[in-house]
Amino acid sequence: MKDNHVPNRKPEWLKIKLNTNENYTELKKLMRNKELHTVCEEAKCPNIHECWGERRTATFMILGDVCTRACRFCAVKTGLPTETDLEEPKRVAESVKAMNLKHVVITAVARDDLNDGGAFIFAETIREIRKSSPLTSIEVLPSDLGGNIESLKLLMDAKPDILNHNIETVRRLSDRVRSKAKYDQSLKFLYNAKQFQPSVPTKSSIMIGLGETTEEIIEAMTDLRAHDVDILTIGQYLQPTKKHLSVEKYYHPDEFTELKKTAFEKGFKHCEAGPLVRSSYHADEQVEAAAKNAENKENYA
């Protein structure tokens, strides 16, 4: 791989195609009418125009839009959250049905002010979606829920179709990049989720471009596989504002191709790797591909 360098400006391959068509404006109006938040907007995701404008998919962000943590990579606002909205799960389910989604991703701000970290609202959201859209597959992307094992069990008892929790970066950089969340605690969280529901695939994501080495990225892959994680996404870190961590390197698409190859060699059932790949990017395809990969391995075992 190429040596790290301090970038002056974004390269050509990071240019984003804007698409404010009817799908985009309709979804934006629906979110506002239902008083819902999406990580697409709050985290300034570069894929919002593709997902909303072309694929008609979205990642719902529950438990409000104020996070109790202040991670140095994240654009979501931080502070003291308001009270929990017990009607939110039903509104999310209504929106999922109105959008006729075949796969939905539910994420949330970290809520360290809540005893269960928000696990109950996650579980209720899953149950409400199951009632109104029984054919929709559900992916959840929670925080580490403060490392509370009972909170994780409460969430997994609702049986999501996939459990996604991001380690975000390599071990050496974790304390600098993340707030409160610990690298080993995230690995344990992913492992315990699989213990509670062995049939539910687990997934994690790594941002690169923060000063990590190739060896450290591969070490993170090894750590995830040692904790039985099935799916991996790898994307380029993009600095949301001048107050956030700077980009140390822009990886070339060919380097992402190499990392994807390594991930499959490590035993991941599926990997998405690319400059604009994010944890929820093409999530429906990731789940389907992982299922097919696992099935093929069984057939040829």
Structure tokens at 13: 């391959």
Q: Decide if 7 is inside a domain.
A: no
Nearest to 34, CA basis, from 14, 67, 6, 61? 61
Strand 59-62 versus strand 37-38 pairing type: antiparallel
CA distance 180 to 192: 19
DSSP-derived secondary structure letter, 235: E
> Rounded to a whole number, what is the distance in angstroms from the first to the last CA of the chain?
34
Q: Is residue 268 part of a domain?
A: yes
| Cα–Cα distance, 144 to 73 (Å, whole number) | 17
Position 240 in a domain: yes
Q: Enter the tokens of residue 102.
A: 């075949």
| pTM of structure | 0.82
Task: Tell me whether residue 95 is in a domain.
Answer: yes
User: Angle formed by the axes of helices 88-99 and 119-132, to 10°?
Assistant: 40
Binding residues: 40, 45, 51, 67, 71, 74, 280
* pLDDT for the residue 42: 47
For residue 174, the domain's CATH number is 3.20.20.70
Binding residues for [4Fe-4S] cluster: 40, 45, 51, 67, 71, 74, 280
In a domain, 222, yes or no: yes
How many domains is the chain partitioned into structurally? 1
166 domain-assigned: yes
* pLDDT at res. 22: 62
Cβ atoms within 10 Å, residue 140 = 26
Which helix (H) or strand (E) segment holds residue 38: the answer is strand 37-38
Question: Residue 4 has what pLDDT?
Answer: 47
User: Pick from 189, 191, 169: which is nearest to 179 by CA?
Assistant: 169
Range of the domain at 248: 19-299
Chunked into runs of 10 residues, the chain (301 residues) has average pLDDT values of 57 68 62 58 53 62 83 74 87 87 86 93 97 93 94 97 95 91 96 96 96 98 98 91 89 97 96 85 61 53 43
> Per residue in 255-290, pLDDT tens?
999 999 999 999 999 999 999 887 765 666 666 665
Flag whether 212 is in a domain: yes
Angstrom distance (rounded) from CA 164 to CA 143: 9
Q: Is residue 6 part of a domain?
A: no
